[in-house]
Amino acid sequence: MNFVALQMLLGDRAKYLGLIMAVAFSSFLMSHQSSIFSGVLNRTRSQIIDVQDANIWVMDPKTQYFDEVKALPDDVLYRVRGVSGVEWAVPLYKGLPTARGADGTFRTVILMSVDDDSLAGAPQRLLVGSIADLRQPDAVLMDRAAYAFFFPGQPLAAGRIFEMNDRRVKTVGVFESSAPFTNFPVFYARYSNAIKYQGRERNMMSFVLVKPKAGLSEQEICRRIEAGTGFHATTRLGFGWQTIRYYLEHTGIPINFGITIVVAVVVGTLVAGQTFYIFTLENLKQFGALKAIGVTNWRIMRMILLQAMTVGVIGYSIGIAMTAAFFEITKNKVDLRGFFLPWQVATGTAVAVLTIVMLASFMSIRKVLVLEPAIVFRG
């Protein structure tokens, strides 16, 4: 009977392909938009992820997310260093100065600092140059996106000259950064240089990065820092999720992407359901003939479910392959880096497609279950 069910499904190629394409494009829209959504949210914490030396971030108690901070007084650094269990603590500055190339091309950039002595907080994925070269006078590291903008089509190389806040700076290396939410290029400099490139204010320190001593939990050190200094301390992962929650609660990102995903589900359900229902109506005589020769309702239900699952599996496979191919093709584009198809999205899309094909099949099953076998003998 399974063979008969598949022959019935494949008999009308136009409707069969229509069902497959409806499920495929529904799968593509759901998985693609969900992946973009998760990628955009992950970008909001990209610079937090890139700082891998320190486990704990200390900040003003009212800080809501990474891109909006209140500068800390310099004495906070020494108070944090005095907390029991802190192995080391270093200042971090984050600003948005303007970088200008030799030809006059300029862009607002994200400027991050590293510790003057230890160079803690430096990027890890270096492509050209050395982190140690940051100790040179007026030295900075730039990310690949910045290099592609200022020197399009040129091979990666150190030694490029820039201006920041009317100060001459030299690029001593190029690194691969996690794509920032604002899509600005990213630069790193020693703390003492970074505050000069931005322009001096009364307080310049954005965060304090902390490494706890071995054997102590990060949560315990955070509790001690908050109790001893009155400033907020959280883990790198916790600060990342704090930033993501801010964008979820205070921007239109989840609503806009959610509408697209819901539309994909609704369209997929309606189109696939209607097409499958019409397919079943056109095959009522065949089902009536099967019931007339003694095939049970249970067996017919299994035949319809097999047809629905076949359409679902093939359509889902095509749709998810289209999504994976899109991210594979665009992975080397600077502005689209960091976007990929998470396994959670692929799994969630599979569950949604299964729900769609089950709803479509149940609509058809109800019509067949009340079918009179005598229909086969009517004109």
pLDDT in tens, 207-217: 999 999 988 89
- For the chain, percent of residues with pLDDT exceeding 90: 30
pTM score of the predicted model = 0.78
The pLDDT score that the predictor gives to residue 33 is 85
Query: Which residues 6+ apart lie within 8 Å of 275 measured at CB?
Result: 15, 18, 19, 22
Q: Are strands 207-212 and 186-190 parallel, antiparallel or unpaired?
A: unpaired
Query: Which residues 6+ apart lie within 8 Å of 253 measured at CB?
Result: 37, 40, 41, 247
Average pLDDT over residues 277-282: 71
Residue 9 has pLDDT above 70, yes or no: no
Confidence band (pLDDT; 50, 70, 90) for 22? confident
DSSP 55: S
Confidence band (pLDDT; 50, 70, 90) for 371? low
Least confident of 152-166, 316-330, 360-374: 360-374
The pLDDT score that the predictor gives to residue 334 is 77
Residue 66 has pLDDT above 80, yes or no: yes
How many CB atoms are located within 10 Å of the residue 143 CB? 26
**Residue 168: strand pairing partners:** 163
Distance, CA of 184 to CA of 111 (rounded, Å): 10
Nearest in space to 216 (alpha carbons), one of 227, 225, 207, 208: 225
Alpha helices in 138-190 (DSSP H): 144-150
Burial (Cβ within 10 Å: 0-12, 13-18, ≥19) of residue 155: exposed
Distance, CA of 64 to CA of 111 (rounded, Å): 20
Confidence band (pLDDT; 50, 70, 90) for 52? confident
Average pLDDT over residues 178-190: 88
Distance, CA of 268 to CA of 357 (rounded, Å): 9
- For the chain, percent of residues with pLDDT exceeding 70: 87
CB 148 within 8 A of CB 334: yes
Distance, CA of 359 to CA of 309 (rounded, Å): 11
Average pLDDT, the chain: 84
Query: Which residues 6+ apart lie within 8 Å of 189 measured at CB?
Result: 111, 112, 113, 114, 134, 139, 140, 141, 169, 197
CB 315 within 8 A of CB 353: yes
CB 94 within 8 A of CB 206: yes
The pLDDT score that the predictor gives to residue 261 is 77
Residue with tokens 């000259």: 161
Average pLDDT over residues 170-180: 90
Query: Which residues 6+ apart lie within 8 Å of 267 measured at CB?
Result: 22, 26, 29
Residue 377 has pLDDT above 80, yes or no: no
The pLDDT score that the predictor gives to residue 327 is 92
